[in-house]
């Protein structure tokens, strides 16, 4: 079954069961964690990926970390080749997140 066929299935239970099988069997995902904010941490056999709402996203570190040591920094689907630029933006987003919790 292809990814497109799985996504079109209106039965949510079947859809998520088939997606899990697809990710494990076809894409070699070993595990993933998802919290209430739609943030995901996905463990592949050769890398970790962090996503939010389907886009690469991590304000606490690289959004893609390969086991060979390569790291890629993304926020809301935007790639930051310059780590210092990513650090500045992520720092501001962390402050906003803390302020929202206080208010």
Condensed to tens digits (0 to 9), the pLDDT of residues 44-69 reads 888 899 998 878 999 999 999 999 99
Tokens standing for 97? Answer: 């997140």
**96 in the same domain as 65:** yes
**47 in the same domain as 25:** no
Tokens standing for 62? Answer: 């690289």
pLDDT at 99 over 70: yes
**94 in the same domain as 49:** yes
Tokens standing for 8? Answer: 């079109």
Report the run of H or E that residue 72 belongs to, with start and end: strand 71-75
**11 in the same domain as 48:** no
Bridge partners, residue 78, by sequence: 75
**15 in the same domain as 46:** no
Number of domains forming the structure of the chain: 2
**53 in the same domain as 99:** yes
**29 in the same domain as 6:** yes
Q: Which range of residues forms the domain containing residue 73? A: 35-103
Tokens standing for 11? Answer: 């039965």
What count of residues does the chain have? 103
Contact 63, 57 (CB under 8 A): yes
- Report how far residue 94's alpha carbon sits from residue 100's, in angstroms, rounded to the nearest whole number: 10
Tokens standing for 33? Answer: 């964690």
**97 in the same domain as 77:** yes
**20 in the same domain as 40:** no
Could you read off the pLDDT of 83-93 as tens digits, one per residue? 999 999 999 99
Tokens 């993304």, located at residue: 74
pTM equals 0.64
**45 in the same domain as 22:** no
**53 in the same domain as 101:** yes
**24 in the same domain as 62:** no
- Report how far residue 90's alpha carbon sits from residue 96's, in angstroms, rounded to the nearest whole number: 10
């Amino acid at each position: 079954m292809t990814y497109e066929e799985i996504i079109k299935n209106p039965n949510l239970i079947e859809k998520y069961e088939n997606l899990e099988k697809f990710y494990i069997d076809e894409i070699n995902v070993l595990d993933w964690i998802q919290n209430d904010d739609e943030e995901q941490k996905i463990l592949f056999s050769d890398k970790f990926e962090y996503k939010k709402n389907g886009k690469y996203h991590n304000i606490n570190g690289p959004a893609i970390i390969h086991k060979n040591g390569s790291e890629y920094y993304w926020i809301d689907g935007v790639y930051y080749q310059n780590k210092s630029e990513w650090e500045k933006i992520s720092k501001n987003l962390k402050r906003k997140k803390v302020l929202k919790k206080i208010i």
